[in-house]
Amino acid sequence: MNILHWFRNDLRLDDHRVLSALPADTSTLLCVVVLDDRWDAVHRLNFPRIGPYRKSFVLQSLRTLHSDLSARGNQLLVVRGSPGEVICSLATAHNIDLVTFEREPTSEEMDHEADVVRRCTSMGIKVASYDERTMIHVEDLPFPLHDLPSVFTSFRTSVERSLTIRNPRPACTALPRPPESLYDESQHSFDLVDLSAEFIQYADYQTPGIDVLPLDRLFDYTFGRQLAASYKETRNGLLGTDYSTRFSPYLSVGSLSPRRIYHTIRDFEHNVIANTSTYWIIFELLWRDFFRFRASIMGRRLFLSGGERGTRTSWKHDHQLFDKWKFGRTGQPFIDANMNELRQTGWMSNRGRQNVASYLTKTLGIDWRWGASWFESQLVDYDCPSNWGNWQYVAGVGADPREHRVFSLERQAAMYDPQGEYVLRWGERWG
Ligand SMILES: Cc1cc2nc3c(=O)[nH]c(=O)nc-3n(C[C@H](O)[C@H](O)[C@H](O)COP(=O)(O)OP(=O)(O)OC[C@H]3O[C@@H](n4cnc5c(N)ncnc54)[C@H](O)[C@@H]3O)c2cc1C
């Protein structure tokens, strides 16, 4: 059997549903990534949909995957184009019997999936897809997905009663070769991406703290420097790269499996220490699952002004105010420092994200979707369900009725930046 795996946000070999358990009769394996039109798209608010820090990180992750595949006798083909056209044409050109991919819960991604399935099945090519992105497998939820609680605490207490997290599968040690026809020049009508050349353009855009391999970061954070043992005390930090796990960029491209994180934390608890910090890392990962599951129920409501609840709010669409926020020129030192850090590194702490989102929506009254779009462009760890779900939550249009918190900036800055060190580091001179 000839298999084509369409890599999306599953850029890893460890705990990989398809590659860790290929059917015994697999003769060739074609591994493909498609950079679709969003890669170079400009948002209607006139900024790139994918900013340089995110691009740099995605390219770096693709290079790592390519070298991991090469070490096992395969390789990664990176092609520009529409996923439906590229995948189906490649499958036809290389006599593929089965196309595999991991499903996403959000609308643009689902449109791509539907196109791939439609085109391939019309050519008689089988397609198999999987739900692997959450820590809890959707089939292990203690309720049907359509009964998912709309409030996080109800979700958490319900799943915690019988938390089942599947064991991660070890990475394969060898892989079947790509089809021979791949090396036939006449087959190359595709817009192939030269990863090294593409990466050079963004090589200067490195986000601090994520320059190591995902499993190395996981090991370092747990058994290595044992930072996991004090996560609960440090997680609201603002300066440095170790106050929180920084797993999110890896999770966003799938170079780290949430199940691998879960079981490593459990091992750490058995062998080193189990405390509220170790519990809290899993607790935060449940937030990630919650937003993913909710996104699959919400469909396009994830992106509508009234959010999940259909709340009627007359948001402002003031470009000048929005630009001041984007470029760290609101005159509010704590907000400006956070916005500068984001623009200059692709990173902002969770504390910062909550404050700047609350300021944009509750104080300036600007459409939360503008803020979510700017985050989508700038964040190195952009993840569609987490980003848009958190923005709905902070803007008060999500399903949780208790979302009407307004942050007091003075109080937040006094609590989390009492000496003003963060504002000094990322304040005016970066604006
Ligand atoms: C307005 C806003 C936008 C956000 N956009 C994103 C985004 O695009 N991508 C993203 O991954 N996270 C997003 N978050 C959630 C959170 O801020 C980040 O996951 C976290 O800061 C990443 O740092 P970390 O990996 O060190 O997290 P840690 O504090 O170490 O937490 C461990 C993991 O738990 C998960 N997690 C923690 N908090 C949340 C949360 N509130 N929602 C969902 N998952 C969570 C993440 O996967 C994270 O890697 C957003 C939060 C807000 C308020």
Whole-number percent of the chain with pLDDT over 90: 91
> Please, what sign has the CA dihedral across residues 275, 279, 280, 281?
positive
Amino acid 167: pLDDT: 98
Three-state DSSP state, 31: strand
pLDDT at 188: 65
Does ligand 1 lie within 6 Å of residue 54's CB atom? no
Whether residue 228 has its Cβ less than 6 Å from ligand 1: no
Q: How far is the CA of 384 from the centre of ligand 1 (A)?
A: 11
Higher pLDDT, 185 or 22: 22
Q: Ligand 1 in contact with 134 (CB < 6 A)? A: no
262 Cβ closer than 6 Å to some ligand 1 atom = no
| HSE (side-chain half, CA atoms, 13 Å) at 195 | 18
The more confident residue out of 399 and 58 is: 58
Cα of 81 from ligand 1 centre, angstroms: 30
Any long-range contacts for 297-303 (C-beta under 8 Å, 24+ apart)?
Answer: 297/145, 297/146, 297/148, 299/107, 300/107, 302/106, 302/107, 302/384, 302/385, 302/388, 302/389, 302/392, 303/107, 303/369, 303/388
Quote the longest CA-to-CA distance of the chain: 65
Can you give the pLDDT at residue 70?
97
Q: Which atom of ligand 1 is nearest to the CA of 357?
A: 1
CA-to-CA distance for 362 and 409, rounded, in angstroms?
12
Q: What φ, ψ does residue 80 adopt, rounded to 5°? A: -90, 145
Please report the atom of ligand 1 found closest to the CA of residue 371.
1
Query: Which domains occur in the chain, in start order?
Result: 1-132 (3.40.50.620), 134-167+213-300 (1.25.40.80), 304-430 (1.10.579.10)
Which of 350, 373, 376 has most ligand 1 atoms within 8 Å of CB, for mutation? 350
Atom of ligand 1 nearest to the CA of 382: 8
- On the question of pLDDT at 401 being above 70, the answer is no
Q: Indicate whether 403 pLDDT > 70.
A: no
Average pLDDT over residues 363-377: 97
**Which ranges of 103-243 does DSSP label H, i.e. alpha helix?**
107-122, 152-160, 195-202, 214-219, 231-234
**What residue's CA is closest to ligand 1, atom 40?**
287
Percent of the chain with pLDDT strictly greater than 70: 97
pLDDT value at residue 309: 84
**Ligand 1 neighbour 391 (Cβ under 6 A):** yes
Output the pLDDT for position 186: 60
* 268 pocket-lining for ligand 1 (C-beta < 6 Å): no
* pLDDT for residue 367: 97
Q: What is the mean pLDDT of residues 10-14?
A: 98
Question: From CA 183, how far away is CA 79, in angstroms rounded?
Answer: 15
* pLDDT exceeds 80 at position 26: yes
What is the per-residue pLDDT across 51-68, written as a single tens digit (0 to 9) for each?
Answer: 999 999 999 999 999 999
Mean pLDDT on 338-345? 97
Give yes or no for residue 157 having a pLDDT over 90: yes
Contact 133, 102 (CB under 8 A): yes
Which atom of ligand 1 is closest in space to residue 384's alpha carbon? 8
pLDDT score, position 365: 96
Q: How far apart are CA 237 and CA 119, in angstroms?
A: 48
Which amino acid, one-letter code, is at 64? Answer: T
